[in-house]
Chains A and B, each alone.
Chain A
Amino acid sequence: MTANAEAIGKRYEPTTYAVGREKIIEFALATGETDPLHLDVEAARTAGYPDVVAPPMFAVVYQRRSVSGALFDPELAIDFAHMVHGGQEFTWERLAVAGDELTTTLTVADVSERMGMSFVAFATESLNQLGETVCTGLWTNIVRTPA
């Protein structure tokens, strides 16, 4: 079973994520970050931020709800047993800061077959509470077609 190409362009209901100070610190520690901007409120404020700053890769946290929703969409019919995360792109316009509320919209960017594999890609865009773009992403999953 391969994914459904008619789903290209499908757009999902936006999801909202409230960025918390302790979640940023937890993520920073789990990924080996040592920059005090991620770990210490005073250091972040001294540098001009209102609160601790999320590492760039924290995008996986605030975009996850949207990505999970698409992965489990029955219309896409993704064969999880043969799926791997093939590639990932992020572009950051600004970093998320504790206290932000980010809204993420996801669109199915690609469903195609190449070299005996299916490619399913999701384009994501996260805006903050001021409507400013924080991060856009492209999540590429590869589904190996069983022989």
Chain B
Amino acid sequence: MKPGDEISLTVNPDRYTTVRYAGASGDFNPIHIDEEFARSVGLPGRILHGLWTMAQVARAHTEAFGGAAGPASLAELSVQFRGMGVMEQEITVRGTVEEVEGDTAVVRSEAIQDGRRIVRNARARVRVLPDSGD
């Protein structure tokens, strides 16, 4: 791993993504699972949980850099949520290795849907295995 290396993950949330995530996470805010309620508060419809989208950002890192350490490679992740994600529209997570120092790499990333950055200024610290090359 070296500065400038890039990661990418594409995911297509289907129309039941928020229902499954509500059950799995315990976040039953109706703006995510009730179309009528979401519209009644001025949203275009049900929207994705920001933390589901953050989980896709996390997965982009652990799948790209995990190696043998797998999910334990992710030491830190911070994100800002902006705008809103919707279902049935592709999301792309893109990241770039900013620096590598010792056994830690810093990666900057964002999640984009239909040209909108729904997660921005994401910064991760990833534990690098000693034998993972440059």
A residues near B, CB below 8 A? 23, 26-27, 29-33, 35, 37-38, 47, 53, 55-57, 60-61, 64, 81, 84-92, 94-95, 138
Q: B7 to nearest A CB, angstroms?
A: 15
Report yes or no: A30 in contact with B71, Cβ–Cβ below 8 A. no
Further pairs besides A27-B24, A53-B71: 9, Cβ < 8 Å: A26-B23, A30-B52, A32-B11, A32-B55, A35-B71, A53-B72, A56-B58, A57-B51, A60-B25
Contacts of B56 in A (CB 8 A): 31-32
Report yes or no: B24 in contact with A26, Cβ–Cβ below 8 A. yes
Query: What is the interface size of chain B, counting residues whose CB is below 8 A from a CB of the partner?
Result: 32
Cβ of B78 within 8 Å of any chain A Cβ, yes or no, is yes
Q: A81 to nearest B CB, angstroms?
A: 8
The listed residue (A57, A86, A89) touching B55 by CB distance below 8 A is A57
- Grouping DSSP codes into helix (H, G, I), strand (E, B) and loop, the B interface class, with mixed when no group exceeds half, is helix
B residues near A, CB below 8 A? 11, 17, 20-21, 23-27, 41, 50-52, 54-56, 58-59, 62-63, 66, 70-72, 74-81
| 14 A-B contacts (beta carbon < 8 Å) | A31-B24, A31-B55, A35-B70, A37-B70, A56-B62, A85-B51, A85-B81, A86-B80, A87-B80, A89-B76, A90-B77, A91-B75, A92-B76, A138-B78
Report yes or no: B24 in contact with A95, Cβ–Cβ below 8 A. no
Contacts of A86 in B (CB 8 A): 80-81
8 tightest CB-CB pairs across the interface, nearest first?
A: A30-B24, A89-B78, A31-B55, A57-B55, A30-B20, A27-B24, A91-B76, A87-B80
Given contacts A85-B51, A89-B78, contact A30 B11 (CB under 8 A): no
Report yes or no: A55 in contact with B71, Cβ–Cβ below 8 A. yes
Report yes or no: A85 in contact with B50, Cβ–Cβ below 8 A. yes
The listed residue (B21, B70, B75, B81) touching A31 by CB distance below 8 A is B21
